[in-house]
Amino acid sequence: MFRQKVAALVLIFSIFFVSQSFAEQGKISVNKISEATKVLQEIIAIPEQAIPPSLLSRAHAVVVVPNLLKAGFIVGGRYGTGVMSVRDKDGVWHYPVIVTLTGGSIGWQIGAQSTDIILVFKNLKSVDALSKGQFTLGGNASVAAGPVGRHAEAGTDAKLESEIYSYSRSRGLFAGIALEGAALQIDHDSTWSIYSSSAYDLLNRMDLKKIPVEAQDFHKTIVDYTQ
Protein backbone atom coordinates (compact mmCIF):
# COMPACT_ATOMS: atom_id res chain seq x y z
CA MET A 1 0.00 0.00 0.00
CA PHE A 2 2.79 2.40 0.96
CA ARG A 3 4.65 1.64 -2.27
CA GLN A 4 1.51 2.32 -4.29
CA LYS A 5 1.11 5.74 -2.63
CA VAL A 6 4.75 6.58 -3.29
CA ALA A 7 4.40 5.50 -6.92
CA ALA A 8 1.27 7.63 -7.29
CA LEU A 9 3.05 10.68 -5.83
CA VAL A 10 6.03 10.17 -8.12
CA LEU A 11 3.69 9.97 -11.11
CA ILE A 12 1.85 13.15 -10.05
CA PHE A 13 5.08 15.11 -9.61
CA SER A 14 6.44 13.78 -12.90
CA ILE A 15 3.35 14.95 -14.75
CA PHE A 16 3.57 18.32 -13.02
CA PHE A 17 7.19 18.94 -13.96
CA VAL A 18 6.70 17.71 -17.52
CA SER A 19 3.71 20.02 -17.97
CA GLN A 20 5.69 22.93 -16.52
CA SER A 21 8.58 22.19 -18.87
CA PHE A 22 6.21 21.93 -21.81
CA ALA A 23 4.60 25.26 -20.91
CA GLU A 24 8.02 26.90 -20.73
CA GLN A 25 8.90 25.45 -24.11
CA GLY A 26 5.70 26.96 -25.47
CA LYS A 27 6.62 30.42 -24.15
CA ILE A 28 10.06 30.23 -25.74
CA SER A 29 8.58 29.17 -29.07
CA VAL A 30 5.94 31.91 -29.01
CA ASN A 31 8.69 34.48 -28.34
CA LYS A 32 10.57 33.08 -31.34
CA ILE A 33 7.52 33.69 -33.54
CA SER A 34 7.41 37.31 -32.30
CA GLU A 35 11.10 37.76 -33.17
CA ALA A 36 10.50 36.32 -36.64
CA THR A 37 7.57 38.69 -37.20
CA LYS A 38 9.78 41.64 -36.27
CA VAL A 39 12.43 40.52 -38.76
CA LEU A 40 9.83 40.33 -41.54
CA GLN A 41 8.37 43.72 -40.66
CA GLU A 42 11.79 45.36 -40.70
CA ILE A 43 12.51 43.85 -44.11
CA ILE A 44 9.18 45.10 -45.45
CA ALA A 45 10.27 48.60 -44.46
CA ILE A 46 13.27 48.48 -46.86
CA PRO A 47 11.97 46.88 -50.11
CA GLU A 48 14.74 48.48 -52.20
CA GLN A 49 17.43 46.73 -50.14
CA ALA A 50 15.83 43.40 -49.26
CA ILE A 51 14.06 40.40 -50.82
CA PRO A 52 12.43 41.35 -54.15
CA PRO A 53 8.64 41.35 -53.78
CA SER A 54 8.41 39.55 -57.14
CA LEU A 55 10.28 36.59 -55.63
CA LEU A 56 8.13 36.51 -52.50
CA SER A 57 4.93 36.68 -54.55
CA ARG A 58 5.89 33.27 -56.02
CA ALA A 59 7.10 31.70 -52.77
CA HIS A 60 5.55 28.46 -51.54
CA ALA A 61 7.20 28.69 -48.12
CA VAL A 62 9.23 31.19 -46.11
CA VAL A 63 11.55 30.32 -43.22
CA VAL A 64 12.69 33.02 -40.78
CA VAL A 65 15.44 32.18 -38.27
CA PRO A 66 16.16 35.17 -35.99
CA ASN A 67 19.54 35.35 -34.30
CA LEU A 68 21.21 32.34 -35.87
CA LEU A 69 24.41 31.96 -33.89
CA LYS A 70 27.63 31.27 -35.74
CA ALA A 71 30.65 30.62 -33.54
CA GLY A 72 33.95 28.86 -33.73
CA PHE A 73 37.72 28.70 -33.56
CA ILE A 74 39.17 26.96 -36.64
CA VAL A 75 36.12 24.67 -36.71
CA GLY A 76 32.86 26.59 -36.64
CA GLY A 77 29.18 25.85 -36.58
CA ARG A 78 25.80 27.50 -36.59
CA TYR A 79 22.54 26.83 -34.82
CA GLY A 80 19.21 28.56 -34.55
CA THR A 81 15.49 28.09 -34.19
CA GLY A 82 12.87 29.87 -36.22
CA VAL A 83 9.56 29.51 -37.99
CA MET A 84 8.27 28.33 -41.35
CA SER A 85 4.99 29.21 -43.04
CA VAL A 86 3.77 27.30 -46.09
CA ARG A 87 1.50 28.47 -48.91
CA ASP A 88 -0.51 25.59 -50.33
CA LYS A 89 -1.39 24.91 -53.96
CA ASP A 90 -4.51 27.07 -53.58
CA GLY A 91 -2.39 30.06 -52.57
CA VAL A 92 -3.40 30.00 -48.90
CA TRP A 93 -0.75 30.69 -46.26
CA HIS A 94 -0.82 28.42 -43.20
CA TYR A 95 0.22 29.29 -39.64
CA PRO A 96 3.93 28.91 -38.82
CA VAL A 97 5.62 25.78 -37.48
CA ILE A 98 8.83 25.86 -35.45
CA VAL A 99 12.02 24.73 -37.22
CA THR A 100 15.72 24.36 -36.40
CA LEU A 101 18.61 25.24 -38.68
CA THR A 102 22.03 23.70 -38.01
CA GLY A 103 25.21 23.43 -40.01
CA GLY A 104 28.99 23.28 -39.72
CA SER A 105 31.77 25.08 -41.51
CA ILE A 106 35.53 24.65 -41.72
CA GLY A 107 37.88 27.59 -41.94
CA TRP A 108 40.05 30.04 -40.04
CA GLN A 109 37.51 31.91 -38.00
CA ILE A 110 37.48 33.36 -34.52
CA GLY A 111 34.56 34.83 -32.62
CA ALA A 112 30.81 34.59 -32.73
CA GLN A 113 28.17 36.36 -34.74
CA SER A 114 24.39 36.47 -34.58
CA THR A 115 22.57 36.70 -37.91
CA ASP A 116 18.96 36.71 -39.10
CA ILE A 117 18.36 34.11 -41.81
CA ILE A 118 15.50 33.95 -44.32
CA LEU A 119 14.86 31.12 -46.78
CA VAL A 120 12.43 31.45 -49.68
CA PHE A 121 11.12 28.18 -51.13
CA LYS A 122 10.09 28.27 -54.79
CA ASN A 123 8.19 24.96 -54.95
CA LEU A 124 6.13 22.63 -52.79
CA LYS A 125 8.33 19.61 -53.57
CA SER A 126 11.02 20.93 -51.24
CA VAL A 127 8.44 21.63 -48.54
CA ASP A 128 7.09 18.09 -48.82
CA ALA A 129 10.60 16.68 -48.45
CA LEU A 130 11.19 18.81 -45.34
CA SER A 131 7.92 17.66 -43.76
CA LYS A 132 9.13 14.05 -43.98
CA GLY A 133 12.31 14.59 -41.94
CA GLN A 134 15.65 16.39 -41.81
CA PHE A 135 16.30 18.42 -44.95
CA THR A 136 19.74 19.41 -46.22
CA LEU A 137 20.09 22.65 -48.15
CA GLY A 138 21.95 21.97 -51.36
CA GLY A 139 21.42 18.24 -50.90
CA ASN A 140 17.68 17.69 -50.97
CA ALA A 141 17.14 20.88 -52.97
CA SER A 142 19.28 23.44 -54.78
CA VAL A 143 19.96 26.60 -52.80
CA ALA A 144 21.45 29.91 -53.91
CA ALA A 145 22.21 33.30 -52.42
CA GLY A 146 19.10 35.35 -53.13
CA PRO A 147 18.92 38.56 -55.15
CA VAL A 148 18.50 41.79 -53.20
CA GLY A 149 16.36 44.77 -54.09
CA ARG A 150 13.03 45.39 -55.79
CA HIS A 151 14.44 45.12 -59.32
CA ALA A 152 17.30 42.73 -58.63
CA GLU A 153 18.14 39.60 -60.56
CA ALA A 154 20.08 36.66 -59.21
CA GLY A 155 23.29 37.29 -61.15
CA THR A 156 24.30 34.09 -62.90
CA ASP A 157 20.97 32.58 -61.83
CA ALA A 158 18.99 35.38 -63.47
CA LYS A 159 15.98 33.17 -64.23
CA LEU A 160 15.58 32.35 -60.54
CA GLU A 161 15.78 28.64 -61.21
CA SER A 162 17.03 27.49 -57.80
CA GLU A 163 14.52 25.79 -55.52
CA ILE A 164 15.48 27.83 -52.45
CA TYR A 165 16.96 31.32 -52.02
CA SER A 166 18.79 32.26 -48.84
CA TYR A 167 19.37 35.62 -47.18
CA SER A 168 21.12 36.97 -44.10
CA ARG A 169 20.99 40.20 -42.14
CA SER A 170 23.83 41.18 -39.86
CA ARG A 171 24.62 44.60 -38.36
CA GLY A 172 21.77 46.09 -40.36
CA LEU A 173 23.07 44.84 -43.73
CA PHE A 174 20.93 42.52 -45.83
CA ALA A 175 22.43 40.18 -48.44
CA GLY A 176 22.19 36.79 -50.08
CA ILE A 177 24.14 34.04 -48.34
CA ALA A 178 25.35 30.56 -49.28
CA LEU A 179 23.98 27.92 -46.89
CA GLU A 180 24.87 24.67 -48.64
CA GLY A 181 25.05 21.76 -46.21
CA ALA A 182 22.92 23.34 -43.48
CA ALA A 183 20.24 21.04 -42.06
CA LEU A 184 16.67 22.28 -41.69
CA GLN A 185 14.21 20.32 -39.57
CA ILE A 186 10.71 20.80 -38.13
CA ASP A 187 10.66 20.92 -34.33
CA HIS A 188 7.54 18.87 -33.68
CA ASP A 189 7.60 19.17 -29.88
CA SER A 190 7.90 22.96 -29.91
CA THR A 191 5.18 23.26 -32.54
CA TRP A 192 2.84 21.13 -30.43
CA SER A 193 3.63 23.18 -27.32
CA ILE A 194 2.21 26.26 -29.07
CA TYR A 195 -0.88 24.95 -30.82
CA SER A 196 -1.66 21.61 -29.13
CA SER A 197 -1.72 20.39 -32.74
CA SER A 198 0.84 18.59 -34.87
CA ALA A 199 3.04 20.17 -37.51
CA TYR A 200 1.11 18.08 -40.02
CA ASP A 201 -2.07 19.94 -39.05
CA LEU A 202 -0.31 23.28 -39.41
CA LEU A 203 1.02 22.41 -42.85
CA ASN A 204 -2.22 20.99 -44.19
CA ARG A 205 -5.20 22.79 -42.67
CA MET A 206 -6.28 26.08 -41.12
CA ASP A 207 -9.06 25.08 -38.69
CA LEU A 208 -6.95 24.94 -35.54
CA LYS A 209 -8.40 25.13 -32.03
CA LYS A 210 -5.54 27.12 -30.50
CA ILE A 211 -3.79 29.95 -32.37
CA PRO A 212 -1.69 32.36 -30.28
CA VAL A 213 -1.85 36.05 -31.12
CA GLU A 214 1.84 35.93 -32.05
CA ALA A 215 1.18 33.28 -34.70
CA GLN A 216 -1.73 35.32 -36.04
CA ASP A 217 0.53 38.39 -36.31
CA PHE A 218 3.17 36.44 -38.22
CA HIS A 219 0.52 35.01 -40.53
CA LYS A 220 -0.94 38.46 -41.28
CA THR A 221 2.51 39.91 -41.89
CA ILE A 222 3.52 37.26 -44.40
CA VAL A 223 0.17 37.43 -46.18
CA ASP A 224 0.47 41.21 -46.51
CA TYR A 225 4.10 40.96 -47.64
CA THR A 226 3.56 38.32 -50.35
CA GLN A 227 0.42 39.60 -52.05
Please determine, for residue 50, whether its predicted confidence score (pLDDT) is greater than 70.
Answer: yes
Please determine, for residue 119, whether its predicted confidence score (pLDDT) is greater than 50.
Answer: yes
Residue 76 lies in a domain: yes
Q: Across residues 49-59, what is the average pLDDT?
A: 81
CB 188 within 8 A of CB 198: yes
Q: How many domains does the chain have?
A: 1
Residue 24 and residue 190: Cα distance in Å, rounded? 10
Q: What pLDDT does 69 receive?
A: 63
DSSP string for residues in 78-103: EEEEEEEEEB-TTSPBPPPEEEEEEE
b/e 67-98 (16+ beta carbons within 10 angstroms → b) = ebebebeeebebebbbbbbbbbeeeebbbbbb
Residue 12 lies in a domain: no
User: Which range is least confidently modeled, 28-32, 66-70, 88-92, 195-199?
Assistant: 66-70
Residue 79 lies in a domain: yes
Q: What pLDDT does 85 receive?
A: 94
Please determine, for residue 23, whether its predicted confidence score (pLDDT) is greater than 60.
Answer: no
Please tell me the pTM assigned to this model.
0.80
Residue 103 lies in a domain: yes
Q: What pLDDT does 95 receive?
A: 93
Q: What pLDDT does 157 receive?
A: 47
Residue 11 lies in a domain: no
Residue 55 lies in a domain: yes
Residue 5 lies in a domain: no
Which residues span the domain enclosing 195?
17-225
Residue 65 lies in a domain: yes
Please determine, for residue 2, whether its predicted confidence score (pLDDT) is greater than 70.
Answer: no
